[in-house]
Amino acid sequence: MTNTNESSEIKNIIARAVEQNTQNSEIIKAFGPIIIKQRELAEISSSQKLDCSLIDKEKLKSGVPVSRQIDLIIPDDSLKEIALAMASAVKEGMPQLTENIDKISGLIQEGKINPSDYFKESLDNENKAIESNAAFLMSLVSRVVLEMRAKEITAALGAFDWEKGYCPICGSFPSIALIEEEGGKRFLHCSSCGQDWRFTRVSCPYCEKETRKDMEYFYVENKTQESAFVCDKCKKYLVTLYRAGKLFARDMDISAISLIHMDMIMQGKGYEPMSICAWNVLR
């Protein structure tokens, strides 16, 4: 499990985000218990280990993510236990979903829903509310497992070359970027597996457009550390933070949720997020 210090730190990060982003405090509070539980579960080493010797660094260098080289979700992973744990976290943060989440948990406990099968195909269920909430729950389970795998893979591989705008581990596009004030380096964050990687500031991560002409940043007045990178070629945007120093610890998913007002603005302008997340589907 996550140790006491780590658990306290993520709670502090959430409390600080609520205080600093009052306009988005409700959604931050709703996802708080979910993210806390995800971090706790992702710290537990899986009994099912990947064969990382099958990962080809040359393929990585040419832009082939690990997910296209080996399977990252193994049927023998403790998906049932993870799903039930995440169900409890969802009910804590989003009590309005309790009835449907309890139904889903019951089906999992009875063996009528097998989480490992869910990743292969959607449930055959006429109740759209149940189906939608089951998909939401399984996306949270997927994050836990993929974060475990990302930690395992990066520990096994060490440093490797990667120059793409999508995640080197799972192949998803980023949900948020962080630009360091010192040196101006841009780092992308994957909400699907939690991986961070460095990417050039002069290219669009989604379509790889390399000129500055069709790319710009939108800022909210008096919020110079918050922006959205936009590309008029692919019509995608990426919420972006500027970090001056490292005084406080940061969780990039909490940061992304805290910037949901930028999602609203950019989607209102006709742009689409590079990565669809549970918190940025606003239509």
Would you state the pLDDT for residue 114?
A: 87
Among the listed residues 79, 102, 94, the one whose alpha carbon sits nearest the alpha carbon of residue 33 = 94
CA distance 105 to 189: 30
- pLDDT over 60 (residue 124): no
| Residue ranges per structural domain of the chain | 4-157, 176-273
Would you state the pLDDT for residue 121?
A: 55
Would you state the pLDDT for residue 106?
A: 96
Please state the pTM of the whole predicted model: 0.90
- pLDDT over 80 (residue 235): yes
CB of 218 closer than 8 Å to CB of 230:
yes
CA 203, chain centre distance (Å): 21
From residue 242, give the alpha-carbon distance in Å to each of 35, 54, 172, 204, 268. Answer: 22, 37, 22, 17, 23
**What digits encode the pLDDT tens for the residues 39-96?**
999 998 777 789 999 999 999 999 999 999 999 988 767 899 999 999 999 999 999 9
From residue 113, give the alpha-carbon distance in Å to each of 107, 110, 135, 231, 249. Answer: 5, 8, 12, 41, 38
Mean pLDDT of 142-169: 94
Mean pLDDT of 181-203: 91
Would you state the pLDDT for residue 117?
A: 81
| Per-position DSSP letters for the chain, written without gaps between them | ---HHHHHHHHHHHHHHHHH-GGGHHHHHHHHHHHHHHHHHHTSPPSS---GGG--HHHHHTT--GGGTS-SS-TTS-HHHHHHHHHHHHHHH-GGGHHHHHHHHHHHHTTSS-HHHHTTS----S-HHHHHHHHHHHHHHHHHHHHHHHHHHHHHH-S-----SS-TTT-PPPSEEEEETTTT-EEEE-TTT--EEE--TTS-TTT----STTEEEEEETTEEEEEEEEETTTTEEEEEEEE-S-SS---HHHHHHHTHHHHHHHHHTT-EESS--TTS---
Would you state the pLDDT for residue 123?
A: 44
- pLDDT over 90 (residue 108): yes
